[in-house]
Amino acid sequence: METIEKINVSVLKNDIKNLVEEQKNFKRLIKEANCIVKDGKVYWDPMHPSMAQSKAYWNGKKLRLMYAAYGLMRGKKFSQTENHYPEENHPLIQYIDQISKIIETYSKTEK
């Protein structure tokens, strides 16, 4: 029997969709976080806007790499995924190790 390596594109797509929903939530929290003053202390509900901004930033970086991995899994080049950069010196080339780890995570081996 030979082993076949399959890529779980549907699982990656679902994870991307979940991260996009989180990203929308973080963006909303940056603008609409509630400041509550209770017993002389300041509380933020549900989180401080700067924390939401930080999480949105790192979530956006992760999403960019996941989109690039999804494009590579579908046989596209970096310049086709993000078309405002030429292929020769595309900024995603410096993240190729992280992108290959994402691809390894979503690939499975079947017998």
> Which tokens is 14 given?
């679902």
What are the φ/ψ torsions at residue 44 (nearest 5 degrees)? Answer: -110, 135
Alpha helix positions (H), 1-111: 9-32, 49-73, 78-81, 96-105
Q: pLDDT for 19-78, tens place per residue?
A: 999 999 999 988 887 888 888 888 877 888 889 999 999 999 999 999 999 999 888 999
Domain ranges of the chain: 4-110
Rounded distance between C-alpha atoms, residue 43 and residue 37, angstroms: 6
Q: What is the DSSP letter of 104?
A: H
pLDDT at 7: 66
pLDDT tens digits along 3-32: 445 667 888 899 999 999 999 999 998 888
Mean pLDDT of 89-105: 92
Residue 111 pLDDT exceeds 50: no
For residue 2, is pLDDT > 80?
no
pLDDT given for residue 82 in this prediction: 86
**Cβ-Cβ contacts under 8 Å for 23 (sequence gap 6 or more):** 56, 59, 60, 63
> H or E segment at 36?
strand 34-38
* Predicted TM-score of the model (pTM): 0.81
